[in-house]
Amino acid sequence: MNAIAIVRIIAILSSGIFAGILFGDRMGATFARPSLSPSSFLQFQRIQHVHFARMMPPLTLAAILSGLGWLIIPPENMREIWSRWESVHTIRTILWSGAFALEVIALSLW
């Protein structure tokens, strides 16, 4: 496995875990916190902080640094990868331009 593959795996894994933690908190604990008493709220936050305080800084740092590393270390076949994107981009541009033209026609008929 080459360096760029390792950087990609770390970038995707760390940002995915981080996003999952934030999403899980937003969809779960966010709804519970308002109903907690002040003492229960503080207890909940302390317990959560004990576990997340150790994990979040290294996880955040890994996500940022590996993402930057992935950006800085382009693959050797970058032009080949980019050319595939250009083909799809051309199709997307044609479809969106056509949709825009149809919306302008629909607006003029209204």
Both 28 and 47 in one domain: the answer is yes
**Which range of residues forms the domain containing residue 56?**
1-73
- Residues 68 and 18 occupy one common structural domain: yes
From 46, 65, 55, 69, select the one nearest 22 (Cα to Cα).
55
Q: Are 5 and 50 within one domain?
A: yes
Rg of the chain taking only CA atoms, in angstroms: 23
User: 28 and 7: one domain?
Assistant: yes
CA distance 85 to 91: 10
The model carries a pTM of 0.61
Tell me the per-residue pLDDT of 7-27, one tens digit each, with 9 for 90 and over.
999 999 999 999 999 999 999
- Total of domains in the chain: 2
Q: pLDDT tens for residues 68-80? A: 998 888 877 878 8
Bigger pLDDT: 57 vs 1 = 57
pLDDT tens readout for residues 35-88: 999 999 999 999 999 988 888 999 999 999 999 998 888 877 878 888 888 989
DSSP secondary-structure letter at 50? Answer: H
